[in-house]
A and B are shown apart, each in its own frame.
Chain A
Amino acid sequence: MGDETWRSLPKLMSQRTQEILAEQLAGLADRQGRPFSIVLHGGEPLLLGELRLSTLFTALRQKLGSEFGISVQTNGVLITDKIIDVLEKYGIRVSISLDGPPTLHDTRRPDLRGRPTHARVLQGISKLLARPASVSLFSGLLAVVDPYSDPDNVYRFFKEVGAPSVDFLYRDGNHSKLPYGKDSVDSDIYGRWMAKILDLYIADPQPMRIRILDDIIKLLLGGAGMKEGIGLTDFGILVIDTDGSIRKNDTLKSSPLGDTFNANWNLNNCSLSDIATSDEFRTYHIAQKPSSAICANCSLLRVCGGGMVTHRFKEGRGYENPTVFCADQKFLIERVFRHLSRYNLVEARVA
């Protein structure tokens, strides 16, 4: 989506910034009284290497203890046995970005020299799966949907990989800059693609987990979702860049209003605890809830949740719109509903 801000940032977070971060997170934990999740992403967090990762995880575990979930979202290319040793030692879970078979993955995820990465990612996955601790170590895979790909091929590929779970993300976009594959806001091309994955998932006697589908199923059955962009549970998200700057949900980078707080917070000039109780953070937090009247009056709101904030953007109207994937959400949720209704699981479930 054209975000270039990463070019001006340090490649790695300095040790000093890491130390401040660990202190601040401990302060937030004390004040908040509830655990939170920490996710290293990027960029590519494994660029830190095993020594720097050890230093960071040591600081985090010393300050936060073991009950805080710490995970890494990686492109999978730099996974080595030594890296896995570090992850295992500190109880870190890892998720790997893999879009599908080589033809899908390598088209959009070459390395910095333009070389294919698919084979190296599979090697990293194999190393993880070979570990006795893989159940606690390896969360699964994250795939960005190509709505022109064959869902059957993609599903079978992921089954063969043997990861414990796969999650699917739609391509970023909004009402003013349509996501790849959508020729209009009314297009439901992503919903139809996911519905085919759903049909395979429902029929599979030994399915891996597919989180977006699990969340929709659970929400329709009266449970709670776990995934950002589905359901109405909102989560406070702060992103700390390598230079210590503190930003909003980074998916907002893909919309023109961006992810920067007005206050330009940085770990060096403020505390995470103060940010979390500030008016600006409260305003940002509340904004996750859909504000469109169309969403408010939609029978599927409790399940859809209005989608990701960044996908609601429209020039001249800001975020006060349904998600650009509204038609896709409707198609998919209705498909899940029909599956559940065949087992008489949904008629009694009314919000």
Chain B
Amino acid sequence: MEKNTIIPTESETASDESLDISVDSAAIRRMVEEIRSESELGVTRSYNRTFNRHNR
């Protein structure tokens, strides 16, 4: 097995029966499109740390 292959492990509540997804996901679709456009444009997005801080 290749190192870094994502291997899902059995998890009591992460079973397929608990996932009630029967429609296309807008969130997933959005990410697929972003990856595609970033790949085509060769976009390197800079890090935005705004979301990593909160007032302590």
Contacts and interface: CB of A to CB of B under 8 A. Distances in A.
A334 B46 contact: no
A223 B13 CA distance: 27
Interface string B1-18: 011111111010110100
Interface in B12-26: 13-14, 16, 19-21, 23, 25-26
Interface residues on A, range: 35 or more
Interface in A220-236: 220-224, 226-229, 233, 235
Interface string B27-39: 1101110110011
Contacts of B5: 299, 350-351
A269 to B, nearest CB: 25
A207 to B, nearest CB: 5
B4 A195 contact: no
Interface residues of B, number: 39
A166 to B, nearest CB: 9
A140 interface: yes
A8 interface: no
A224 B35 CA distance: 8
Contact of B25 (A75, A203, A251, A300): A203
A339 B9 CA distance: 14
Contacts of A301: 4
Interface string A126-169: 00000000000001101010000000000000000000000101
B14 A331 contact: yes
A174 interface: no
A144 B56 CA distance: 11
A69 B14 CA distance: 39
Given A73-B54, A218-B35, A337-B8, A350 B2 contact: yes
A206 B6 CA distance: 28
B8 A341 contact: yes
Nearest to B18: A199
A202 B8 contact: no
The 4 closest A-B CB pairs, nearest first, are A351-B4, A223-B35, A167-B51, A71-B50
Given A221-B35, A299-B4, 17 more contacts: A35-B46, A69-B46, A97-B54, A195-B14, A201-B27, A205-B23, A213-B27, A217-B31, A218-B31, A223-B31, A226-B48, A227-B52, A299-B6, A333-B6, A341-B8, A342-B16, A345-B32
